[in-house]
Amino acid sequence: MKILVTLTYYYPHWTGLTAYAKRLAEGLAQRGHEITVLTSQFESYLAREEMCNGVRILRLPTLARMSRGVLMPQFIGAVNELAQANDVLHVHTPMLETNLVTRIGLLHGKKTLITHHGDLVMPNNPRDQFIERVTTALMTQGEREAARITVHSCDYADHSKFLAPFRAKLDCIYPPVEIPHPNAHQVAQWRAELGLTQSKLVGFAGRFVEEKGFDYLLQAIPLVRAKIPNVKFVYAGEINVVYEHFFDKWKHLIDQERESIVTLGLIRDPQQLAKFYAMNDVFALPSRTDCFPSVQIEALLSGTPVVATNIPGAREVVRVTGMGKLVTPRDPLALANGLIEVMNNREVYLKSRAEIRQVFNTERTLDEYEKVFEALVS
């Protein structure tokens, strides 16, 4: 099949959404499908066109940023041309141009599949709330016109007001997640280099934005430290997020807990990322909202149990694997107690990598996507 994939950011940009899209595109390309990705040239040094692991990437110049999104003046013309040359269209949302893709697809008799990576939740200020309303309205129109919609879990689908009108055309497919086996010797060596051999470690990762709920984790630190004095909190991710200033809002707590926090920055190398997860005794996911953060599965595959907030979508991983604990959302005390419980009784929550792969399997994900695309094309 010839599949046109559209999304705002693609390789080398790195978020859970782009990692998902990249693994899926490359996996389908390896199976012999012709995959073209249309995305933004979000950095001027990036090539307008290149091949990467069998996937053709086309990047469009951007006129301006609009919060998390960008404006691409050439987008309509590019989609119009590429829709004619492909069998089916695939959109990863949230994306401002969702309904443009579905509408152009209909004009050329091509069906569109939308992968919904979560309802759009923007910071609580007038500008971002306006952008959220406009983008959500455009995405709603696109989802009406799409032939099928995939979502990461039925738990999220069943609790999303945005997806409720489209339940009849939803397919629940777990994300494709891959991470190398961590090397135990290298993990111990890195931990020693950081001076953390004698510490209990709580890992957390991702963009430092409001929806990830890191402020609740910061408030939980002294509560955990009161019970486990040698605890350290190890962060891997981006602090200076250009479209949101959430870090600045909570910097006073970071400064206050500086002795308990170790920051590693954004880790792009997969082997290094596996070492990060394996180094920690527990991984924290204190999200306010989250469709299905893949960091949880990466942590489990690296041998580290998870403490996650009990919210639709984010709770799925712990529910189906039992490798961790769910806690009340937006509650620093509940989060602290969950982390303490898992660190003190870690062996109870451990599962083997093979057991986790029984549930989250990339080849099965690719099989399910192939079936959806084949049905749309036929």
Domain match, 137 and 252 both: no
Domain match, 165 and 274 both: no
Average pLDDT of 155-173?
Answer: 94
CATH of residue 322's domain is 3.40.50.2000
pLDDT beyond 90 at 353? yes
pLDDT beyond 80 at 127? no
Residue 16: CB atoms within 10 Å: 22
Domain match, 349 and 202 both: yes
For residue 12, give the DSSP letter. Answer: T
The pLDDT value recorded for residue 120 is 72
- Distance between CA atoms of residues 136 and 204, nearest Å: 29
Domain match, 197 and 142 both: no
Residue 165: CB atoms within 10 Å: 11
The pLDDT value recorded for residue 243 is 57
Q: Which residues pair with 38 in a beta bridge?
A: 6, 58
Cβ atoms of 111 and 90 closer than 8 Å: no
Q: Is 64 helix (H, G, I), strand (E, B) or coil?
A: strand
The pLDDT value recorded for residue 241 is 61
Confidence of residue 132 (pLDDT cuts 50, 70, 90): confident
Structurally, the chain folds into a number of domains equal to 2
Confidence of residue 162 (pLDDT cuts 50, 70, 90): confident
Q: Among residues of the chain, what percentage have pLDDT more than 90?
A: 81
Question: Bigger pLDDT: 140 or 198?
Answer: 198
Give φ, ψ of 315 to 5 degrees. -80, -10
Domain match, 130 and 252 both: no
Domain match, 35 and 165 both: yes
pLDDT tens track for 235-245:
998 887 655 67
pLDDT beyond 90 at 96? no
Domain match, 310 and 239 both: yes
Give the predicted TM-score (pTM) of the model. 0.91
E strands, 216-270, in order: 231-236, 261-263
pLDDT beyond 90 at 203? yes
Give φ, ψ of 263 to 5 degrees. -105, 130
Average per-residue pLDDT for the chain: 94
Domain match, 117 and 207 both: no
The pLDDT value recorded for residue 106 is 97
- Distance between CA atoms of residues 298 and 273, nearest Å: 9
Domain match, 71 and 115 both: yes
The pLDDT value recorded for residue 38 is 98
User: How deeply is 253 buried, as exposed, middle or buried, from its count of CB atoms within 10 A (0-12, 13-18, 19+)?
Assistant: middle
- Please name which of 259, 257, 258 lies closest in space to residue 220, comparing C-alpha atoms: 257
Domain match, 28 and 160 both: yes
Q: Which residues contact 356 (CB under 8 A, 6 or more apart)?
A: 297, 300, 301, 321, 323
Q: Which residues contact 227 (CB under 8 A, 6 or more apart)?
A: 336, 340
Residue located via tokens 């979502």: 151
Length of the chain: 378
Domain match, 301 and 262 both: yes
Average pLDDT of 318-332?
Answer: 97
The pLDDT value recorded for residue 238 is 82
What b/e readout covers 56-80, taking b as 16+ CB neighbours within 10 angstroms? bbbbbebeeeebbbbebeebeebbe
Domain match, 306 and 332 both: yes
- Distance between CA atoms of residues 334 and 213, nearest Å: 13
The pLDDT value recorded for residue 282 is 98
Give me the domain span that covers residue 77. Answer: 2-176+361-377
Cβ atoms of 213 and 311 closer than 8 Å: no
